[in-house]
Amino acid sequence: MEEEKCIFCMIASKKVPAKEVYEDPMVIGILDINPASKGHVIMIPKKHYNNIYEMPQEEFLQYMSVARAVGYAILLSLAPNNVEMLYTKELTKGNVTPHALIHLIPRYNDDTINHVWQPQKMEESDFIAVENTIKSAIEKVKSAEAPKPTKQAAEEQKKPENAVKENKPPINIQRKIVVF
Ligand SMILES: [Zn+2]
């Protein structure tokens, strides 16, 4: 979907009003206008991605960190039993979300939310085939997503005073994660 037609991009750029509960340079959080329960918040990355798998890893970690913090704020303020974090492209059948959203859904004893599926029957040989397929794909994903040293980090590591740090990853992702 093109960004100018995406409702969530329009919300993020304030062309469409929403009840915002959170905002930073990368993400906004709004109340869902069709809430599954009281305090249902949608976290919206300001940059358009069709799904979370298109997001650069570092940006995704930041996004998840912020989503968890907002979820924790919901937990503290509205006192539900739990706050679910839900990523899905299809909340109602056939209604596909065009933007990489994370839903924060408070759960209460008397809510009407029902995650139901029919367990599928699978033969042992099918389990093994699926297991091996996913495992080999994970190896490819890991090698594709391994952090690549920046030029500056590579220069830093060449300095004698930094020699002991050689085995450390060049980028400290933790530093950029928001802590509330
Ligand atoms: Zn969008």
Asked if residue 113 belongs to a domain, the reply is no
Find the 44 Cα to ligand 1 centroid distance in Å: 8
Asked if residue 118 belongs to a domain, the reply is no
Find the 25 Cα to ligand 1 centroid distance in Å: 16
For residue 20, the model assigns a pLDDT of 98
DSSP state, residue 57:
H
Q: Is the dihedral of CA 111, 73, 82, 11 positive or negative?
A: positive
Asked if residue 116 belongs to a domain, the reply is no
pLDDT in tens, 66-119: 999 999 999 999 999 999 999 988 766 777 888 999 999 999 999 999 988 999
Q: 112 with 135: CB under 8 angstroms?
A: no
Asked if residue 165 belongs to a domain, the reply is yes
Pairing of strands 27-31, 20-23: antiparallel
Residues 102, 13 within the same domain: yes
Residues 32, 93 within the same domain: yes
Find the 90 Cα to ligand 1 centroid distance in Å: 15
Find the 52 Cα to ligand 1 centroid distance in Å: 12
For residue 163, the model assigns a pLDDT of 54
Q: What is the mean pLDDT of residues 30-58?
A: 95
Find the 101 Cα to ligand 1 centroid distance in Å: 9
pLDDT in tens, 130-144: 999 999 999 998 888
Per the model's pLDDT, the better-predicted residue between 87 and 160 turns out to be 87
Find the 61 Cα to ligand 1 centroid distance in Å: 19
Per the model's pLDDT, the better-predicted residue between 141 and 22 turns out to be 22
Q: How confident is the model at residue 145 (pLDDT cuts 50, 70, 90)?
A: confident
For residue 3, the model assigns a pLDDT of 64
Q: 32 with 40: CB under 8 angstroms?
A: yes
Using left for φ > 0, alpha for ψ between -120 and 50, and beta otherwise, residue 14 falls in left
Residues 60, 86 within the same domain: yes
Percent with pLDDT over 70 in the chain: 78
Find the 12 Cα to ligand 1 centroid distance in Å: 8
For residue 82, the model assigns a pLDDT of 97
Asked if residue 115 belongs to a domain, the reply is no
Residues 97, 144 within the same domain: no
Residues 97, 147 within the same domain: no
Name the helix (H) or strand (E) containing 129.
helix 124-145
What pTM did the predictor assign? Answer: 0.76
Q: What is the mean pLDDT of residues 17-45?
A: 97
Find the 144 Cα to ligand 1 centroid distance in Å: 25
For residue 144, the model assigns a pLDDT of 81
Looking at every residue in the chain, the average pLDDT score rounds to 85
Find the 100 Cα to ligand 1 centroid distance in Å: 8
Rg (CA), the chain: 20
Domain count, the chain: 2
The token pair that represents 172 in the structure block: 């400290």
3-state secondary structure 61-110: HHHHHHHHHHHHHHHHHHCCCEEEEECCCEEECCEECCCCCEEEEEECCC
Q: The domain containing residue 7 runs over which residues? A: 3-107
